A and B are shown apart, each in its own frame.
Chain A
Amino acid sequence: MPSAPVSPLVVEGLTVRFGSLTALDGLTLTARPAALTAVLGPNGAGKTTLIRCCIGLLKPAAGEITVLGQAPGAASGRHRIGLMPQSSGAWSSVRAGELLHYLAGLYAHPLNLTAVMARLGISRYATTTYRRLSGGQQQVVNLVAALIGRPELVFLDEPTAGLDPHARRATWQLLRELRAAGVTAVLTTHAMDEAEALADTVYIVDHGRVAISGTVGELTSGGQNLESVYLANTHTQAET
């Protein structure tokens, strides 16, 4: 009997505290291989904290994380993951192409930069410094920066925030290609339509814990759309 595929990301009972604030409160989730897992939640729900724990930047107070079979942040696993942080993740004075060439040099088998820059239109502004790029251009550069090492698992923290509808759709198409190519993606988003269009599994997070999870079909089987399910299972910060 074939063995079940190992989950690239397993998070169990994750608890993170910043002083008296509990950012994550026993959060548990799993990302399936070559699938896109969306983590939805209001501001302050703990989405970015979750990603920072997964890359080893934050040490949880309790709980376990396994990233590609290893502890988060393990030196032998860093080349296997990609990260698109919510903040820019780039020096303000670095040129777009310069940043990507630099990052490509950290890996043994990076993406074909010429091809990916042409495909996403980065070639047009490759010599422009990062601070002079539009918000959408910065997001595209950030996305490529996360993918440049051809990772097995990629964390995308709100990858389409601030993008116009054309750029959002182009990003969605790229994320579908990633999944088809066998890459596991974990993305955080506020956009219900994004989760509906892309996600194989959705985790709705509230107050640092998973309020409800499942496929979009499972979550909306009661006749509600995903936004209604989200609103019914989350609170605004003002309500907390």
Chain B
Amino acid sequence: MTAVDFSPAPGAAPPFRRITRHGLLEARLLARNGEQLLLALFIPLGILVAGRLAGGRLGDFAELVPSLLALAVWSSGFTSVAIATAFERRYGVLERLVATPLGPSGLISGKSLAIIMILVGQVVILVGVAAGLGWSPAFTGRSAAVAVLLVIMATATFVCLALLLASRVRAEATLGLANLIYLVLLAGGALVVPLERYPAAVQPVLAGLPTAALGEGLRAAAGGHTLGWPLVVLAVWLPVAGLASWKGFRWTS
């Protein structure tokens, strides 16, 4: 029998190592999950290729690419996080990790790191494929900076909303709801379809959605323009979602 020294020797690894370890593990687990990979990468890639092959029947290709980048942010920031967190809560992963040196703040930081890694991977692949298919965006320095800011604000908003959903609803229900919300806002949230193509009566309502703010903002930025209202919309959503998730989050089921 192998001898093991169980004598207490408590000590925490440095914070950077803890957060990096967690981020890498979550990113690996997400990349292994077929359903999440479908949402995060294969659906946007499929639409991208179909959009090119359709030759304009799915909309202007120059407009389609930023729309799909918005879709990627939406799927990784909201749907993936909601489903993964709901099952982490159900399986007691959150409960275990809260009692480790990682703690609640390290867990949130590690999750954020994983999302950033996944998002960077998505953007690199989508932009690479889009460029290969002939996409030539007209970003200016200013519009690119606004696009990055929009992605950061939208991701943070989506993650907060996802955490709130995951912690208030059973895991199986979260799975269904997160996918349903994903599809509803994909089609009806001015995320992929430009706002101007919706009936005039609903446009003001849709413009207040974070998905519309992201989609419209990215489409404008890729065309070299900057819009102020998407930033305002997200500046309202982010603190509200952050506060709701901070107050409403439950670690255990």
Contacts and interface: CB of A to CB of B under 8 A. Distances in A.
B4 A106 contact: no
Interface string B238-252: 000000000000011
A87 B103 contact: no
Contact of B6 (A73, A79, A87, A183): A183
A151 B29 contact: no
Contacts of B184: none
Contacts of A149: 10-11, 100-101
Contacts of A155: 99
Interface stretch (B69-77, B85-93, B112-120, B175-183): B85-93
Contact of A151 (B8, B13, B87, B96): B8
Q: Which of A91, A103, A151 has the most CB of B within 10 A?
A: A91
B181 to A, nearest CB: 23
Contacts of B32: 93
Interface in A69-108: 73, 75, 78-83, 85-94, 98, 102-103, 105-108
Interface in A153-192: 155, 177-178, 181-183
Q: Which of B9, B21, B87, B96 has the most CB of A within 10 A?
A: B96
A61 interface: no
B25 interface: yes
A18 to B, nearest CB: 11
B29 A119 contact: no
Contact of A105 (B1, B13, B88, B91): B13
Nearest to B12: A79
Nearest to A83: B99
B188 to A, nearest CB: 32
Given A73-B98, A90-B91, A151 B10 contact: yes
B10 A94 contact: no
B3 interface: yes
Given A57-B252, A78-B103, A149-B101, A109 B93 contact: no
A52 B7 contact: no
Nearest to A153: B8
A206 interface: no
A146 to B, nearest CB: 8
A90 to B, nearest CB: 6
A23 interface: no
B114 to A, nearest CB: 12
A15 to B, nearest CB: 18
Contact of B12 (A93, A107, A116): A107
Contacts of B102: 106
B98 A56 contact: yes
Nearest to A113: B4
Given A87-B91, A116-B4, A109 B11 contact: yes
11 contacts: A55-B99, A79-B10, A79-B12, A83-B96, A88-B92, A89-B95, A102-B25, A107-B11, A111-B5, A147-B6, A150-B8
Given A91-B87, A183-B6, 17 more contacts: A57-B98, A78-B103, A79-B12, A79-B100, A89-B96, A91-B88, A91-B93, A92-B91, A93-B29, A93-B32, A103-B100, A105-B13, A106-B21, A111-B5, A119-B2, A177-B6, A178-B6
Please list the 4 inter-chain residue pairs (A to B) with the smallest Cβ-Cβ separation, ordered nearest first: A108-B11, A87-B92, A89-B96, A83-B99
